[in-house]
Amino acid sequence: MESLAGLLGPVFIIVLMLFVASACVRVLRQYERGVMFTLGRFSGVRGPGLILLIPYIQQIVRVDLRTVVMEIPHQDLISKDNVSVKVDAVLYFHVVDPEKAIIQVEQYGAATNMLAQTTLRSVLGQHELDEMLSKRATLNTDVQDILDERTKAWGIDVSAVEIRDIQLTDNMVQAIAKQAEAERDRRAKIIHADAEFQAAQTLTDAATILATVPAAMQLRYLQTLTEIGGEHNSTVIFPMPLDVVKPFLDILNRDAAKAIPATPIPLANGAKTPALS
């Protein structure tokens, strides 16, 4: 019994020393800082490394300085053109002033997340749906600037805000698809009309040149004959200007009129009318 009592004494002392050491010693990692309070009053920021405390008189609160990646849950909002959408985003922030992050706000992470949700709804609600879909970078910057300005008092720096997804209703998706299809049809018709206009303009310019320069018409005529001859056709049609053919047609018409004989027309009583000339 005496030996057992002799062992309990050293064991008790060792346990007491370990308890005191655990209450007095803190080890902070490189990315951690400790906000120290002495009898409830702020007494400085410590770390990283070994920190010694006075038990029951001093307390320390750990603060992580690494960048925090936080998801902003889906937010229901109405755009400026009255379209209902759901938007979610990702928030990146880190603590730059541990004192303010602990003293100025309770649970700085949750507070930053709630502020990001309200800011996201407020900023995106001032824009139309087309701007939300096409100008995400600008909207990200606007939300980040507002958040960063309001979280400075909490010792928090907002690194970035990224809008991740914009969800639309099925009816709105169909409407956007129809709009895109109509836009493609409009562009196709404009391109076709522009091509027709350019072709007509080119033909008009060519006709003007051929009309003002007779030699050009002759060269075009010869080129056409060359193209026809190169196709190995059994029948070749020679286009002739009307002013060249018209004199020959007049001569043929006069000869045909002279060659018609004067034939008398018989009457019912056997008399004959004079022949028509």
The region, left, alpha or beta by phi > 0 then psi within -120 to 50, assigned to residue 190 is: alpha
Express each pLDDT in 2-22 by its tens digit: 565 566 667 767 776 777 767
Rg (CA), the chain: 49
- pLDDT class of 252 with cuts at 50, 70, 90: confident
Q: How far apart are CA 277 and CA 270, in angstroms?
A: 21
Domain ranges (residues) in the chain: 15-64, 68-168, 169-228+237-256
pLDDT grade, residue 253 (50/70/90)? Answer: confident
**What is the SS3 assignment for 80?**
coil
The model's pLDDT over 33-67, given as tens digits with 9 standing for 90+, comes to: 999 999 989 999 998 999 888 888 889 999 999 99
Q: What is the pLDDT, as a whole number, of residue 62?
A: 93
Residues 146-171 have a mean pLDDT of: 90
**How many other C-beta atoms lie within 10 A of the C-beta of residue 64?**
15
Query: In whole angstroms, what is the distance from residue 40 CA to residue 42 CA?
Result: 7
Beta pairing class for 156-168 and 68-78? unpaired
Distance (Å, whole) CA 89 – CA 73: 7
- pLDDT grade, residue 276 (50/70/90)? very low
User: What's the CATH superfamily of 68-168?
Assistant: Band 7 domain (3.30.479.30)
**For the whole model, what pTM was predicted?**
0.61
Q: Give kind and range of the element (H or E) at residue 164.
A: strand 156-168
Distance CA 136, CA 164 (A): 9
CB-count exposure of residue 96 (10 Å: 0-12, 13-18, 19+): middle
Q: Are 237 and 225 in contact (CB under 8 A)?
A: no
CA separation for the pair 115, 161 (Å, rounded): 12
Contact in structure between 27 and 51 (CB atoms under 8 Å):
yes
Is the link from the previous residue into 48 a cis peptide, with omega within 30 of 0?
Answer: yes
Greatest distance between any 2 Cα atoms in the chain: 182
